[in-house]
């Protein structure tokens, strides 16, 4: 858990938003066509639509979020789903609380 790395990720509005949206996928995204839950998170396409940014930008963002261990990818057929990594997010929050 690298606070500096995480803060870098969270110093961009879109990336913070993505993390927040993933907290309540059912409120922020349409249902997936192949599965009826968000257990593994949300597919890249939906996240892209919601942000209005290009596909490559969102892919890059999600990759940086994954490198910081903030999200976990799961492949389902053609789609990659991303969900929050709650353990790391919680550890980050506690580190901010205790160290800052």
Residues that bind a second copy (CB under 8 A): 3-4, 7-8, 10-13, 16, 19-20, 89, 92-93, 96-97, 99-100
Q: How far is the CB of 92 from a second copy (least distance, A)?
A: 8
Q: Give residues in contact with DNA (CB under 7 A).
A: 8, 11-12, 14, 43-45, 48, 53-57, 59-60, 62-64, 73, 75, 77-81
Residue (of 22, 26, 38, 51) closest to 79 by Cα position? 38
- Which residues lie across from 79 on neighbouring strands? 76
4 or 100: CB nearest DNA: 4
Q: How far is the CB of 65 from a second copy (least distance, A)?
A: 13
Instruction: Give the chain's largest Cα–Cα span.
Output: 44
CA 57 vs. chain centroid, Å, equals 14
8 or 50: CB nearest a second copy: 8
Q: Which two tokens stand for residue 97?
A: 């609380």
In angstroms, what is the C-alpha Rg of the chain?
13
């Amino acid at each position: 858990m690298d606070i500096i790395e995480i803060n870098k990720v969270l110093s961009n509005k879109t990336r913070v938003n993505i993390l927040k949206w993933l907290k309540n996928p059912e409120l922020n995204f349409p249902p997936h066509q192949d599965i009826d839950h968000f257990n593994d998170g949300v597919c890249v396409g939906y996240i892209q639509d919601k942000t209005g940014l290009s596909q490559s930008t969102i892919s890059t963002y999600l990759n940086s979020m994954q490198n910081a261990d903030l999200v976990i990818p799961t492949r389902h057929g053609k789609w990659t789903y991303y969900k929050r990594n709650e353990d790391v997010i919680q550890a980050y929050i506690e580190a901010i609380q205790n160290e800052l």
